[in-house]
Amino acid sequence: MDSSTPRRHNRSSRTGPGESPKPHHCHRTSLEGVINPPADEVSPDERDKATGMFYSIISYIESSMTADLETPYNRARLVRLIHDYARSQESKWLLLQEFFRYTNIIVDDPVDFDDAATVEHLRSRLNSFADYLMDNLLLPLKASAKKTPQPSPAQSSQIPSRFSALGSIERVASLRRDCLIRDRHRCAISHNFDLQEAERRLDQYGEDFAQDDQGCLLTNQVPESFAELEVAHIIPHSFMTTTGNIVLDESKRTARELLNMFDHGIIYLIEDSNIDRPLNAITLRIDLHRQFGSFKVFFESLPLATHPPHTYQIDTTQRRPLRMSMFPITRQLHLSPERTIDPPSARLLALHCAICKILQLSGAGDYILVRVPTG
């Protein structure tokens, strides 16, 4: 068994009598090759044992927490949720490997939950691991979750759809145009028609002939059905960009490695210019863009057995009275007329949805609001 397997019977790492166990990785800033290990030959029994140990520790710490220990967020619940929402069995296994490495817990060693010192050591290690995930994954994602830079409509109309040959600004301009065409110039959630496009068509064709993409006259639609629309990235645009700041770029690299652990292989969908492709974007009304970008609105795929392809239930984590009355709402996403523009990736939307739920259920979202300025 290679180094990517959770530690078993490594007696040299143990402390002497009366000494406190010391995690080896409490100050790690990167995953040091952990995220993409060689394929392991691990038996189902070994995986079951590691999973059982993980849940026994998490469950005990979580059940014994008091209100004062849950501040600033529920760390045990955060770790459990990240494991539970990991996008594949391989991703769950990668997380378990990192958990046992980081905490220096040996899978084969029984845990004495009746010993107060042992429990406190476990709590400390678990909290450290939760803070590591918070500081190196969730915080960078939220910090990157500002609105997608919006090019002018003139820029969008002039840019050919050739992503690989364009710079970032030009790619986003092309992205906006392609998403509007694919989404029929409507918000994917509210179905508002793009106000700027409506004005352009009225000017070009006149009130008697200007139509929406479905052939309905614009003059027959109520004023409230029009709104300013924007292109919204599913995974934030700036999450994949470099800044020239060595420390910041290293932090982003670690965050991307952790994201790739959470959904193994996902990074290849969004690396380099792929971050600005239609599969990572959707057309939204400005206010809904802000909530979606802040991981407060999510798309949850509905089963193909009972719904048409690309059908989602869309909901929000906002509490009352901030929760919009439209939620939850079911929408089928549009495809481009000639099927030449990729639809929003179901995999990326599922990842976005999982992050939304983790932030809400662990209390981490409220904690991040204090640490990351809004705007």
Cβ atoms within 10 Å of 286's Cβ, excluding its own = 15
170-195 per-position pLDDT tens digit: 888 899 999 999 999 999 999 999 99
Q: 98-107, 174-183, 211-220, 272-281: which has the minimum mean pLDDT?
A: 98-107
Count the Cβ atoms, other than its own, within 10 Å of residue 195: 16
What crossing angle do the helices spanning 346-362 and 364-371 adopt, rounded to 10°?
A: 90
The residues near 120 (Cβ < 8 Å, ≥ 6 apart) are none
pLDDT single digits (tens) 42-67: 788 888 999 999 999 999 998 887 65
Q: Rounded to whole angstroms, how far apart are CA atoms 176 and 232?
A: 9
pTM: 0.83
Mean pLDDT of 281-295: 96
pLDDT value at residue 150: 60
The alpha carbon torsion through 351, 352, 353, 355 (nearest 10 deg) reads: 90
pLDDT of 354 strictly over 60: yes
% of the chain beyond a pLDDT of 90: 55
| pLDDT score, position 338 | 82
Q: Is the per-residue pLDDT at 96 higher than 70?
A: yes
Q: What is the mean pLDDT of residues 139-161?
A: 62
What are the tens digits of pLDDT across the range 296-312?
999 999 999 999 999 99
Q: Is the dihedral of CA 243, 256, 133, 353 positive or negative?
A: positive
Binning pLDDT at 50, 70 and 90, where does residue 69 land? low
Helix (H) or strand (E) holding 298: strand 297-301
Could you tell me the pLDDT band of residue 273, with boundaries at 50, 70 and 90? Answer: confident
- For residue 72, whether the previous peptide bond is cis, meaning omega lies within 30 degrees of 0, is yes
Residue 367: its pLDDT value, please? 82
Has residue 359 got a pLDDT over 50? yes
**pLDDT for res 151:** 59
Q: What is the pLDDT of residue 307?
A: 96
What count of other Cβ atoms lies within 10 Å of the Cβ of residue 27?
8
pLDDT score, position 19:
43
Q: Is the pLDDT of residue 166 over 50?
A: no
pLDDT above 70 as % of the chain: 79
Q: Considering only CA atoms, which of 254, 261, 299 is closest in space to residue 280?
A: 299
- Dihedral Cα 118, 120, 124, 127, nearest 10 deg: 110
Instruction: Pick the range with the lowest mean pLDDT from 41-45, 93-97, 332-336.
Output: 41-45
pLDDT of 328 > 90? The answer is yes
